[in-house]
A and B are shown apart, each in its own frame.
Chain A
């Protein structure tokens, strides 16, 4: 596509237009799937609580998210008089933008990736570490005590779990020998017993896959780690003072982050766009379908956990991050690199 536009519009403009179209081709489906995923989150949650969930707007209530969006769009944006106006409005924009940025390096199929850079995984770490600023700035700029507490909790929580996520990613990178996400997916081809395309099947990496799933729950501040918006203590956390579109941007950004973490789980440990088994007929299904199936499975786990697990206490959250996940993932780096030194590189 880039060549076509470059041939018609010249090198510079052709590149620009082609990339703009590619970015829209990623961003718009992501936004659409966020709307659908919010509906499914509510449906799954309702089913586990033996309720019906959204069932009024559209067939089976499937248009509920769009109705919510329209409602929120028509509401008045209220800015508290004591708030720091510029930062107050900047915070939801940061959250929303950062949530979309990471998708640039996600491989959807063999060559279906916007930016095939050799530091892809580091880029995702870097961008996801920016996500906390939306919450922190929102909490501070609201000039209100509950959002402020929420901001403090959020910054501490993100830093704690980013450490363990970083170490877990290092084990995968060691095994692959590359930071490129497409290389990581390719390296999983026939990884288990010669025909299973999963890193998660590897006995050494499986504990890391489980820890990554739990850490990604904490990183996206989903239940049971949703202390930043614990309604029993903090009203609605950093979102307390927000209304209308500003609130909607937080909401969308949060779910886009959840989807991204599901995708990362699928890409890093469960084969990304590869079919689960190395068997020719399975390749008839396009890779993006396999990826979407895996993302949906992880999103179901996220909703399942949200519906069933009670919220952690703050000190338990910190204890889990620093005293359990950090030492284990650090130990695992030594185990994995030692094993690779023995088997792959020779001592």
Chain B
């Protein structure tokens, strides 16, 4: 009973906030609706017993990705007229994408109704292994799929190094701060005691 209530609450909020994400006039409001959608999706994950995935969803998407989105979107100089002009220009592309998604949805639901694809009936289902979520995910990722997992990590590393190489440029004439040398500097190197005669001034 309470599960059903929670499911419909989370699901309807996800759908509504997803709709508001694309309907909101203001990009910042869009991102905030998106965050609400992420958060309620995490609620759905908790309902199916995947609390580890739910927490990761909140930490990674809400805590990091969406903050960066918000960071960028907040600094945008928003021009509503231009946004609406782009809507008509991109309409054919959007319709094409919508058609593809609709077709996939129909195929997916059709395939699901045609035969038993037994999602979640796997022997490695954590609930069946009698282990906690974290243990089950860890066992799968770090023993069974270790090479796939590590190659995914390598792909990400290459992407990161590539992005740094592409955008990094050496600029001449900058004087970066060297904290180490600043800390190492002693008073004797920086100051000098003198006793100048009256009217002589000091050598700088």
Contact (Cβ within 8 A) A136 B58: no
Pull 7 A–B residue pairs with CB atoms less than 8 Å apart, ordered by A.
A118-B51, A119-B134, A125-B63, A126-B59, A129-B58, A132-B63, A156-B71
Contact (Cβ within 8 A) B179 A118: no
A:126-167 near B, CB below 8 Å: 126-127, 129-130, 132-133, 136-137, 140, 148, 151-152, 155-156, 158-159, 162, 166
Contact (Cβ within 8 A) A118 B134: yes
Task: Determine the residue in chain B with the shortest Cβ distance to A163.
Answer: B64
Contact (Cβ within 8 A) B132 A118: yes
Q: How far does the alpha carbon of A127 sit from the alpha carbon of B58 in the complex, in Å? A: 8
Q: Which residues of A lie under 8 Å from residue B63 when comparing CB positions?
A: 125-126, 129-130, 132, 162
Contact (Cβ within 8 A) B64 A129: yes
* Shortest Cβ gap from B70 to chain A (Å): 6
Contact (Cβ within 8 A) A132 B67: yes
Given A129-B62, A152-B71, A119:B55 Cβ within 8 A: yes
Q: How far does the alpha carbon of A155 sit from the alpha carbon of B68 in the complex, in Å? A: 8
The yes or no answer to A225 lying at the interface (CB within 8 A) is: no
Given A125-B59, A133-B35, A179-B134, A159:B68 Cβ within 8 A: yes
Mask, A113-127, CB within 8 Å of B = 1, is 000011100110111
Q: Which residues of A lie under 8 Å from residue B51 when comparing CB positions?
A: 117-119
* Shortest Cβ gap from B13 to chain A (Å): 16
* Shortest Cβ gap from A166 to chain B (Å): 8
The yes or no answer to B52 lying at the interface (CB within 8 A) is: yes
Taking Cβ atoms with an 8 Å cutoff, the residues of A that contact B are 12, 87, 117-119, 122-123, 125-127, 129-130, 132-133, 136-137, 140, 148, 151-152, 155-156, 158-159, 162, 166, 179, 315-316, 319
Given contacts A133-B35, A133-B67, A155-B67, 11 further A-B contacts (CB under 8 A): A119-B55, A125-B59, A126-B55, A129-B63, A132-B63, A136-B70, A151-B74, A152-B75, A155-B71, A156-B71, A319-B179
Q: How far does the alpha carbon of A151 sit from the alpha carbon of B72 in the complex, in Å? A: 12
B:143-184 near A, CB below 8 Å: 177, 179
Contact (Cβ within 8 A) B68 A130: no
Given A118-B134, A140-B28, A126:B67 Cβ within 8 A: no
Given A129-B58, A130-B58, A162-B63, A119:B133 Cβ within 8 A: yes
* Shortest Cβ gap from B75 to chain A (Å): 8
Task: Determine the residue in chain A with the shortest Cβ distance to B55.
Answer: A122
Q: Which residues of B lie under 8 Å from residue A148 when comparing CB positions?
A: 74
Contact (Cβ within 8 A) B67 A122: no
Closest 7 pairs (CB-CB, A-B): A129-B63, A126-B58, A122-B55, A126-B59, A118-B132, A126-B55, A119-B55
* Shortest Cβ gap from A302 to chain B (Å): 23
Would you call the interface of chain A mostly helix, strand, loop, or mixed? helix
Q: Which residues of A lie under 8 Å from residue B70 when comparing CB positions?
A: 133, 136, 155
Question: Residue among B2, B64, B67, B71 with the most chain A CB within 10 A?
Answer: B67
Q: Which residues of A lie under 8 Å from residue B55 when comparing CB positions?
A: 119, 122-123, 125-126
Q: How far does the alpha carbon of A133 sit from the alpha carbon of B68 in the complex, in Å? A: 11
Task: Determine the residue in chain B with the shortest Cβ distance to A121.
Answer: B55
* Shortest Cβ gap from A261 to chain B (Å): 16
* Shortest Cβ gap from A177 to chain B (Å): 10
B:111-160 near A, CB below 8 Å: 132-134
The yes or no answer to B14 lying at the interface (CB within 8 A) is: no
Q: How far does the alpha carbon of A297 sit from the alpha carbon of B132 in the complex, in Å? A: 35
Q: How far does the alpha carbon of A165 sit from the alpha carbon of B132 in the complex, in Å? A: 24
Task: Determine the residue in chain B with the shortest Cβ distance to A156.
Answer: B71
Q: Which residues of B lie under 8 Å from residue A319 when comparing CB positions?
A: 179
Q: How far does the alpha carbon of A132 sit from the alpha carbon of B32 in the complex, in Å? A: 13
Given A12-B2, A130-B58, A136:B52 Cβ within 8 A: no
The yes or no answer to B99 lying at the interface (CB within 8 A) is: no
Task: Determine the residue in chain B with the shortest Cβ distance to A139.
Answer: B74
Q: Which residues of B lie under 8 Å from residue A156 when comparing CB positions?
A: 71
Contact (Cβ within 8 A) B68 A122: no
Q: Which residues of A lie under 8 Å from residue B133 when comparing CB positions?
A: 118-119
* Shortest Cβ gap from B133 to chain A (Å): 7
Q: How far does the alpha carbon of A148 sit from the alpha carbon of B32 in the complex, in Å? A: 17
Q: How far does the alpha carbon of A319 sit from the alpha carbon of B35 in the complex, in Å? A: 29
Given A119-B52, A140-B28, A319-B179, A129:B71 Cβ within 8 A: no
Q: How far does the alpha carbon of A162 sit from the alpha carbon of B67 in the complex, in Å? A: 12
* Shortest Cβ gap from A131 to chain B (Å): 9
Contact (Cβ within 8 A) A158 B67: yes
Q: How far does the alpha carbon of A132 sit from the alpha carbon of B59 in the complex, in Å? A: 12
Task: Determine the residue in chain B with the shortest Cβ distance to A173.
Answer: B134
Q: How far does the alpha carbon of A158 sit from the alpha carbon of B132 in the complex, in Å? A: 30
The yes or no answer to B56 lying at the interface (CB within 8 A) is: yes
Q: Which residues of B lie under 8 Å from residue A155 when comparing CB positions?
A: 67-68, 70-71
Task: Determine the residue in chain B with the shortest Cβ distance to A127.
Answer: B58
